[in-house]
Amino acid sequence: MALSDPLAERMRPKSLAQYTGQQHLVGEGAVLRKAIENGHIPSMIFWGPPGVGKTTLAFIISQNLDRPFFSLSAINSGVKEVREMIEKAAHYKKGGIVPILFIDEIHRFSKSQQDSLLGAVERGLIILIGATTENPSFEVISALLSRCQVYVLKNLTEEELISLLNNAISGDETLQQKKIELKETEALIRLSGGDGRKLLNIFELLVNAANSDKVTITNDFVLSHIQQNMALYDKTGEQHYDIISAFIKSIRGSDPNGAVYWLARMIEGGEDPKFIARRLLILASEDIGNANPNALLLANNCFQAVNVIGWPESRIILSQAVTYLASSAKSNAAYEAIGKAQSLVKQTGDLPVPLHLRNAPTKLMKNMDYGKDYKYAHAFKDNFTDQEFLPEQLSGTKLYDPQNNTAENKIRETLKRLWAKYGY
């Protein structure tokens, strides 16, 4: 490794023993480690945020299995490059060797590009390892996804990030020549966002900025140098999670100006429009919900339109949706309700369904009183009759609590009239 390479590249692990993080996958006895040690791995997709070791883990797997390792980036490669790589793999297969083909950012591959991979995976010409920061169930065609095991990689913990720093200080030839003290690490860890590559890039920038053989890392030193040098390490895509966070929080905070600014930042940075539209879909329910049910309809229409239109015209559709959602009344009552309900399920376990709510497709079930005393709401005045819909032990538990806005105040009045026992 050349000394001119970035620190993150110089410190790239070459074995599982050197690999940091993802212990749920590669720790002792973990599922992926067992597969590697047995020498039988499936085609797989690594799904996780940037800088958590997806590419490194793919390379380590190829080294452990002593397989040829081919790598393509979905940004720079098309169907032609994929087919050329598959032809090379076919030559190895004749000799009884199945190489590993690593596709970085596989979510950026089009359907035709993914189709070109499918046949090679089905015929066993390659073991495919794809890496993605996006949910593969949205971005990878179902036929290819069904032939791959999906492994979720997590942000590195604070302990793991500090371990990376200490390993770099003691193991990198350049850093060994300096006396480096990690006096405070809070700012470093916070700025990294759980991204190991980003952490090492920031750290190298700080060491160089110190311009001395003695470097003391403190929070003040980090903040004073990083804020003015952000562009040196925060390349396109590195701010992905920070900017989407600012975008969502601006809409949630009902500021269309901030929201459309962060939208523009994502557009100019080359963000996938479908990613933005999906986030709007989630937000329409999580942060607006029943305060304005039209928000979800508009967000869904936006998502559909973006899939049809693409750049650059999608920017107009996204801007309309973003400014509408930001200007809308807000409520997270539906979001809170499902959270409370799931928490309740975890606490109380599998409570039995009341007999009157059970289905009774057989005579035996009818004889056991399944469905007995169920009241068909449409047979009653105003399509309502008071009956119990929760397990007996949870009777009277309120999970959905409408918030104080025009639409949900109407909902509250209806629920107060129908369900006095819940205390609306």
Which residue segments constitute the domains of the chain, with CATH numbers given?
21-152 (3.40.50.300), 158-233 (1.10.8), 240-327 (1.20.272.10), 353-422 (no CATH)
CA–CA dist 308, 72 (Å, integer)? 27
According to the model, what pLDDT value does residue 366 have?
73
The three-class DSSP label of residue 129 is strand
Contact 135, 109 (CB under 8 A): no
Residues 6+ apart with CB under 8 A from 341: 399
Three-state SS for 29? coil
> The tokens 């979720």 sit on which residue?
152
Say how far residue 289 (Cα) sits from the centre of its chain.
22
How far apart, in whole angstroms, are the C-alpha atoms of residue 323 and residue 61? 46
Give pLDDT, residue 4.
Answer: 65
Estimate to the nearest angstrom the gap between the alpha carbon of 157 and the chain centroid. 16
pTM of the model: 0.57
Torsions phi, psi for 98 (to 5 deg): -105, 110
The answer, yes or no, to whether the previous bond of 312 is cis (omega within 30 of 0) is yes
> Which residue type occupies 135?
N
> Which pLDDT value is given to residue 402?
85
Give, rounded to a whole angstrom, the gap between the first and last alpha carbons of the chain. Answer: 67
Going 81 to 129 to 117 to 133, the CA torsion angle's sign is negative
Token digits of residue 133: 């920061």
Distance (Å, whole) CA 98 – CA 416:
66
CA dist list (Å): 250 to 244, 245, 262, 320: 10, 9, 8, 15
CA distances from 365 to 370, 374, 396, 401 (A): 5, 14, 28, 36
* Contact present, 72 and 104 (Cβ < 8 Å): yes
Residue for token pair 């596989």: 106
- Number of neighbours of residue 204 by Cβ within 10 angstroms: 21
Predicted local distance difference test score (pLDDT) of residue 359: 76
What per-residue confidence (pLDDT) applies to 227? 58
**Amino acid type, 328:** S
Residue 152 is inside which H or E element, if any? Answer: strand 149-152
The C-alpha atoms of residue 238 and residue 153 are separated, in whole angstroms, by 17
Size of the chain in residues: 424
Check residue 236 and give its pLDDT: 42
Q: How many CB atoms lie within 10 A of CB 390?
A: 14
- pLDDT 10s per residue in the chain (424 long)? 455 688 888 988 888 888 988 999 988 888 899 888 888 888 999 998 888 889 899 989 888 888 888 888 777 777 778 888 888 888 888 888 888 889 888 888 878 788 888 888 888 888 899 998 888 887 788 888 888 999 999 888 889 999 999 999 998 888 888 898 899 888 888 888 788 888 898 898 888 888 788 888 888 888 888 754 443 334 344 466 778 888 999 899 888 888 898 888 888 777 788 889 999 999 999 999 988 999 999 999 999 999 888 778 888 999 999 999 999 989 998 989 988 888 888 888 878 888 777 777 777 767 777 777 788 878 888 888 888 888 888 888 888 888 888 888 888 888 888 888 887 7
One-letter amino acid at 422 equals: Y
272 SS3 class: coil
DSSP assignment of 354-374 equals: PGGGS---SHHHHHTTTTTT-
Q: How many Å is the Cα radius of gyration of the chain?
A: 27
- Rounded to whole angstroms, the Cα distance separating 173 from 159 reads 23
**Quick one: pLDDT at residue 237?**
44
Cβ burial, residue 132 (10 Å; 0-12/13-18/19+): buried
What is d(CA 423, CA 91) in angstroms, rounded to the nearest whole number? 72
Of 167, 132, 169, the residue nearest 148 (C-alpha): 132
